[in-house]
Each structure stands twice: as structure tokens, then as C-alpha cells.
Amino acid sequence: MTRIFAYVPFKNGVTDDVALEYPDAAKKIDAGASLTAVVTGHGADLDNVADALTKTYSEVIKIDNEALAYPNAEIVRKALTHVIPADAIVLVPHDTFGMDLAPGLSIKLDSAYAADVVDFEGMDGATLKLIRQELGGAVSTHVTCDAASGAVITIRPGTFAPADEEGASGTVVDKSGEAGDLSAKRTFLEVVEAEVGDVDITKSDVLVSIGRGIEDEDNIEMAQDLADAMGGVVACSRPIVDAKWLEKSRQVGTSGQTVKPKIYMAMGISGSFQHMGGIKGNPFIVAVNKNPKAPIFQVADVGIVEDILDFMPELQEAIEDL
């Protein structure tokens, strides 16, 4: 029988949303598989999280150690390597923690590795069939993964259907004694909070958000003018911040701000999942992009194939004439 172990991150006593998404992923891997949640940490927060997970999982393994109080990927990896059987399938979220943990974990468990999986098509013997994306989401690929000696898989957060939390009444298994040596060559120091900018994009109902299609820093004015006409503010995707054209506090995405506008105008934005991950509350998304194959058109409500540098001033003028 396929054994699946799902690593559940948590923060301030609250489990990551992925905790409810693993059961769907596990079912798509193998409907007959056993699914065990694994949590690591220290103290009351860990105990509470482990107990809460028994509503969703029939078995919850917890590993309690002072060294695990902050999730340092190197230390978590050591603990997991001692507790998870070598032939298991291990699920981890494809986020900034999962990317830190999972590749090295696959080496230490001598398992196959597949990253940022968006769907599974079941097992064919010991071969796991899955789907992932390449080239920034422009193309998808069918992938086979030989899981005979285990596999570590990161799944894309938000892609699997969340389970009903109250389904199970599982038990907590304390494996703290098996964690082994938890010394590390990397030491966590502190979290430096993001700087607050002069404009708070999280408070606006209308966002005119620009991406690479803006082409030049001087063109940002066009987006600002359109935002002014619409009574909104200018936000952006990652490349604009990397180029230092706008401050980090304007960036929408998993590594930037989470926004909940009513209207999201995606101007020249390709629509990577990291960017879309920062848009919540189901806004009306208008995408304008000169590339008809831009992935943003798969998630937008309305799509327009135009060059934003021509389109934005015309739209602004038409709105001002209303």
C-alpha cells in the first residue's frame, strides 16, 4: 500500500491552508493510500496544531524539540529523515519553506523528486504520474516519477480542493524521541518585516497592476494616470520591483502583498502563480497583454490582446470622457 506523509507547516498556532489540500492530492495519487500528517515544532502551539489536525487526518505524527521552535529547513530535514520511511511519498507545499526543505530531503531519503506539482494522474505500479508547468506557466508537462524507493513531491498551494475539516477523528503519535541529532550549520537569526510604503495597495478597491509589458520606468506614469482616472492605485508584479522602478510594498504576490480589490487590472502581466497567489477575494480581473498565449488569460475574467502602452492612455481618456 502506498504510504503518504504530508508535512504541515504552521505559524502562530495556525496551520497552513495546504493542510486541507493534501487529502485531495493524496486521493489523486492513490485513492487507497494511507495519509499521515507530520508536524514539527515546540511546546503548546505544536500540541494544539497536532490535535486540530486529527479532525482531518487519521494519524498525525508530531516531533517536539526546542531546536524545531522556528522551522529551519536544515533541522526539519534531519528530523523528518529519521521519522519518515524511505519508501514513502512525502508531500510538502511549494512555497518559500518547501523550496528550502524538499530538494535536500529527497537526497537524504534517496527518493525521487518532483516540484510544484499541479495535478496527479495516479500510480502505474510504482510510477507516479503527475502534471507540472514549465516556462513560467506557458506550457504544461506530463511527468513520470519512479517512486519505488520513495518520492518527495512539492504541490502548488491553492490548486487542490480543500477538504472538509471535520471528516476524521485521528490520533497523535509522538515521535519526538526518534528525531536524532538536530544540530545544524545554519542558524536562524530573525525575521525582518517588510517595510511599509507610502501607498497601501491592500486598501484599494481598484488596482492598476503593471508587469514587464510596461517596458520602461518612464511609462509607469501612464498606469498612474489610468489609476487616477479609475480612482485606484498602481500595483505591480515582481520584475518591476526587481528593476527598482517601484517599491516592494507595491508588489502583489506570494513574496509581496496579498490584495483583495474589487477590480484588478493586470496590465502587461504574464500571470505566474506566485503573482496570482497574492490576489484574494475573487476580484473582477481584466488582463491586457500583447501575447495572446499569456497564462493570465486562463485566470482573468476579461482578456484583451493589445499593447498596454497604446491601450492604457486610450482607456484613460474614454473613462475621463464619461
164 vs 317, which CB is nearer to other proteins? 317
| Residue 15 is a binding residue for other proteins (CB under 8 A) | no
Chain mean position to CA 190? 22
Q: Identity (one letter) of the amino acid at 28?
A: K
Site for other proteins in 240-299 (CB under 8 A): 241-244, 248-249, 251, 254-258, 262-263, 270, 284-287, 291-293, 296-299
17, 146, 174, 217: residue in contact with other proteins (rule CB under 8 A)? 146
Q: Tell whether residue 190 is a contact of other proteins (CB under 8 A).
A: yes
Q: Which of 142, 161, 180, 203 binds other proteins (CB under 8 A)?
A: 142
Could you tell me how far CA 152 lies from the centroid of its own chain? 17
Q: Is 273 annotated as a binding residue?
A: yes
Q: How far is the CB of 94 from other proteins (least distance, A)?
A: 8
Residue whose C-alpha cell is 508588489: 251
Q: Which of residues 193-232 bind other proteins (CB under 8 A)?
A: 193-194, 205-206, 212, 230
As given in the structure block, the three cell numbers for residue 253 are 504576490
When asked if residue 191 is in the footprint of other proteins (CB under 8 A), the reply is yes
Which range in 22-30, 46-54, 60-68, 108-116 contacts other proteins by CB under 8 A? 108-116
With residue 319 as reference, give the H or E element that holds it: helix 308-320
Between 85 and 262, name the residue whose CB sits nearer to other proteins.
262
DSSP 35-60: EEEEEEE-SHHHHHHHHHHTTT-SEE
Distance from CA of residue 132 to its chain's centroid? 14
Applying CB under 8 A, the site for other proteins has a residue count of: 94
Q: Which residue has the cell 495546504?
A: 18
List the Cα angle 63/58/132 in 5-degree steps. 80
Q: Which helix (H) or strand (E) holds 267?
A: strand 263-267
265 within 8 A of 288, measured Cβ to Cβ? yes
Tell which positions 47-76 bind other proteins, by CB under 8 A: 72-74
Residue 254 annotated as binding site: yes
Annotated binding site: 212, 237-238, 251-255, 268-275, 289, 307-308
Annotated binding site for FAD: 212, 237-238, 251-255, 268-275, 289, 307-308
